[in-house]
Structure 1
Amino acid sequence: MSAPPRPSAVPSPSPVRLPLSDVLLLGLIGIRTRRIRAALSALGISIGIATMIVVTGIPASSQRALEAELTALGTNRLKAVADSSLTEPGETVAIPKEAAAMVSRIGPVNAVTDVANTHATARRSERIDSQDAAGLLVLAARRNLPEVLNAKVRSGSYLTAVTERFPAAVLGSVAAARLGHPDLVAGEPPPQVLLGNRWFSVVGILRSIPLAPDIDRSVLVGWDAARDNLGFDGRPTLLFVQADESAVEDVHAVLPETIAPDNPGLVKVSRPSNALAAKRSTQANFSGLFVGLAGVALLVGGIGVANTMVISVLDRRREIGLRRALGASRGQIRSQFLAESVALSCLGGIAGVLIGVLATVAYAAYRTWPLVFPLPAVGSGLGGAILVGILAGVYPAVRASRLPPTEALSAT
């Protein structure tokens, strides 16, 4: 009698590969069934991401406002003056007439204006001795001086194409107070000031200019009017230069040779404003602060997610054991908990971005700062949330996949 045939070996079934949609659905099970815990964990990471947005957006808006204030102080401006210490006593010190045109050809220079001392006296009336001229200067100025110096007119108007050719004057803030004309009254005839031996009508009064205190103590007249009425020879004594902030030092180095090629030592150029160094130092300090605070915020959020996922693994050991007993592979268990960690972090990240952006907009509006919308911070926040979710979920996912089914099912 022959032996019965041996049954053929049945190959072990290969684990089913879950599609991405099923992995995501499995990952959301823990979030849906434990909503309060998930909400608290998402709140933790949302606070971290919102903190990153806020500590990036609000200081960036503050920095933009500070940069505007420092720029107004002259971080991109230079002053070139004829050095009287290098000339003989009684010799008139001046800069070549074509100096402004030559300086304007320098690449980084955006604007240049020249000013000239007419050496005339400024008096309120002819009864005042010409030797007592209140310490004021009478300067011939160009029409673009307010743009170069960021000067504002407090009352009246500045020199125009018409008034610069006639006996019309604009007073600096200090000159206006000393001459007894603090403001102009609309509808009334303009007040008169005596410049040299000629009366000039006051058409405007400037606000104080922090960049150029000499202009505050000056009476400004048009170039043609100074030549026709005050005996002005047409040679400037002072140049104000506005250049690209990044190239201020380079412009400073070439100004003497450009203004007076035959005698560069005659020209004395002011150094870039100390505010420029303060501005650059502020930018560097703010950048380091942003990186440090953002790193701390993400670390706090990641610890919160990791803690929640570890507790979730401990609480769901029976579920893990049941799934393993029904044929789920270790890889599927890892994918489930890793997907849950990433989903939890993404929810917190989206909420954090919304909170952070709204807080930044509200605070910038309250302080009337220019709004700097931190797009890199928003992208970094979302990307950081995903990265934190992956890192925070690796250990809990691996630990869940390594639980033996019998041990997991017997857990109480």
Structure 2
Amino acid sequence: MTVRTHGTSPSRPAGGQRPRAPRHGGRRGRGDRPWTDPRDLWSESLAGVLARPVRSVLTTLGTVLGIGTLVITIGVASTAANQIVGRFDALTATSVSVVAPTPPPGSLDPPLVRWTDVEAVRRLAGVESAAALSDSQNTSNVQVKANDVVAPGTVNGQTLAVVAADPALPTAVRGTVTTGRFFDTGDIGRHERVAVLGYQAARLLGIADVRDAPAVFFNGQSFTVVGILGGFRREQRLSASVILPPTTAADRMGLKQVTRVLVNTSLGAAAQVARQAPIALAPGHEERLTVLAPPDLSRARKGVEGDVNGLFLVLGLVSLVVGTIGIANVTLVTVMERVGEIGLRRALGASRRQVAAQFLAESTTIGLLGGVVGATLGVVVVVSVAGVKQWTPVLDLRLALGAPVTGALVGLLAGLYPSLRAARMEPVDALRAPS
């Protein structure tokens, strides 16, 4: 039978002591250690962040700027590097040259490469255009005049190179005939004494129009200028040359053998064409030909992208460090302002670990929110810049998806010292501290 007296309860044990209430945190875990439910910890940290919304927003801006700058700089750098390398590929990675050795003077050996052999190269897969050239040391410096009148004390001639080429040369050098026309197979078949001037040669000779059939004079012979070739994107030195039909150059200048073949290929086909072109031009003697092909640009692409990304990555990391310092500073100020709250929580039974966990959760929440907002803004900026420049945006999805995690880690690291300082506070000292 239980006897109840005033001021006592049936559950009170012997000795008159009341059972201790569980400490703040809800339940006891292993070893009788108090612990906090993760949901409670999250709600308390979120409440702490929302309690000072203006300060939390300003603190989050540091992480937003850091993560956003990191995403923007790496994204824009990758996009720009891809554009630079793409243009580099388009201009250089499709050009192949085959050089034939020049026979010694007086040699009776047949030409290693004939003018008609170029047609075999044009039939190769991946070849877009090809043209044959013939030049020599004897025709590299020829005195060319725009008229045959000799006036005392005046110089009306220029030292220019004279070369022979087939009618496909304008396409092979990616140029255009700005005035007149280029010689054709009819001119070649009739051995016509016609010439096409590179635009620099025409300017040096004072010829701007060919409608009046101007002539140039060299080696005691006259040649009618039928066109001016400009817009060279390849073989720029031909812009200061006089270009003759193959038959005319063989008859008048002794240029009988093809010395170079210029080949333009589709992107990615240069290596294959470089292997096949010598066999098509000189079967059985391909080892005597020298092929000038672009190097493998995969390493160059990686090098350009790596250099640009490395430069901008440093800038992004600097911004991220600034954001980390901002979170740490504000979290420390928050700890100092909430000394009374910390003391009260400790007095009610909260452990050091629980106090530290709350402030760590608050700083991590701020970092996570900053990472999400910063990554979103960064992706929008990268796509916008690429759209304005009409580029193809290049952005590593791992970077965009990992940015929130990075922001959370930044917040976690930034909150380590303030949370440890809050955890080391003694309840009595905290409660005595001025609020």
**TM-score bracket relative to the smaller structure:** 0.5 to 0.7
**Does residue 1:74 correspond to 2:98, yes or no?**
no
Determine if contact 2:160/2:241 at 8 Å carries over to the other structure: no
C-alpha offsets along residues 299-350 of structure 1, whole Å, 9 cap, x if unaligned? 3322332332233223223223434555667676555433321332234335
**Against the structure 1 CA distance between its residues 400 and 276, is the aligned structure 2 distance closer, same or farther, given a 3 Å change threshold?**
closer
Match of 1:322 among 344, 362, 376: 344
Number of the residue aligned with 1:266: 288
Number of the residue aligned with 2:414: 392
Determine if contact 1:48/1:301 at 8 Å carries over to the other structure: yes
Number of the residue aligned with 1:212: 235
Structure label with greater radius of gyration: 2
Q: Which amino acid is 1:173 matched to?
A: Y
CA distance in 1, matches of 2:62, 2:2: 73
Number of the residue aligned with 1:302: 324
Number of the residue aligned with 2:74: 56
Q: Which amino acid is 1:114 matched to?
A: A
Match of 2:134 among 117, 122, 130: 117
Higher alpha-carbon deviation: 275-284 or 310-319: 275-284
**Does residue 1:41 correspond to 2:67, yes or no?**
no
**Does residue 1:153 correspond to 2:176, yes or no?**
yes
Residues matched between the structures, number: 392
C-alpha offsets along residues 346-386 of structure 1, whole Å, 9 cap, x if unaligned? 343355456656776888899x6947454555445444212
Determine if contact 1:302/1:388 at 8 Å carries over to the other structure: yes
Aligned partner of residue 161 in structure 2, secondary structure: coil
The 5 A counterparts of 1:274-285 are 281-285=303-307
CA distance in 1, matches of 2:122, 2:229: 29
CA distance in 2, matches of 1:387, 1:311: 20
CA distance in 1, matches of 2:83, 2:195: 34
Instruction: Please report how far the alpha carbon of residue 212 of structure 1 lies from its aligned counterpart in structure 2 after TM superposition.
Output: 0.7
Aligned partner of residue 80 in structure 1, secondary structure: strand
Determine if contact 2:229/2:239 at 8 Å carries over to the other structure: no
Number of the residue aligned with 1:32: 50
Instruction: Please report how far the alpha carbon of residue 173 of structure 1 lies from its aligned counterpart in structure 2 after TM superposition.
Output: 2.0
C-alpha offsets along residues 114-149 of structure 1, whole Å, 9 cap, x if unaligned? 2233999998889589x9995332411327x53x54
Superposed CA RMSD? 5.3
Aligned partner of residue 229 in structure 2, secondary structure: strand
Instruction: Please report how far the alpha carbon of residue 28 of structure 1 lies from its aligned counterpart in structure 2 after TM superposition.
Output: 3.4
Aligned partner of residue 241 in structure 1, secondary structure: strand
Match of 2:27 among 1, 14, 17: 14
Instruction: Please report how far the alpha carbon of residue 267 of structure 1 lies from its aligned counterpart in structure 2 after TM superposition.
Output: 1.4
What is the TM-score normalised by the length of structure 1?
A: 0.67
CA distance in 2, matches of 1:82, 1:302: 64
Instruction: Please report how far the alpha carbon of residue 239 of structure 1 lies from its aligned counterpart in structure 2 after TM superposition.
Output: 2.1
Aligned partner of residue 84 in structure 1, secondary structure: coil
**Against the structure 1 CA distance between its residues 322 and 306, is the aligned structure 2 distance closer, same or farther, given a 3 Å change threshold?**
same
The 5 A counterparts of 1:137-148 are 137-142=163-168, 146=171
**Against the structure 1 CA distance between its residues 311 and 364, is the aligned structure 2 distance closer, same or farther, given a 3 Å change threshold?**
same
CA distance in 2, matches of 1:43, 1:2: 65
CA distance in 2, matches of 1:292, 1:2: 77
C-alpha offsets along residues 257-291 of structure 1, whole Å, 9 cap, x if unaligned? 56434223431233648999977654443243344
C-alpha offsets along residues 133-177 of structure 1, whole Å, 9 cap, x if unaligned? 95332411327x53x54x343735986xxx845559764322432
CA distance in 1, matches of 2:84, 2:181: 28
Determine if contact 2:72/2:382 at 8 Å carries over to the other structure: yes
C-alpha offsets along residues 82-133 of structure 1, whole Å, 9 cap, x if unaligned? 1105686476645254456458647xx554512233999998889589x999
**Against the structure 1 CA distance between its residues 134 and 218, is the aligned structure 2 distance closer, same or farther, given a 3 Å change threshold?**
closer
C-alpha offsets along residues 16-38 of structure 1, whole Å, 9 cap, x if unaligned? 96575x65543333333334543
Determine if contact 2:200/2:240 at 8 Å carries over to the other structure: yes
Structure 2, unaligned runs of 5 or more: 14-18, 29-34, 151-156, 188-193
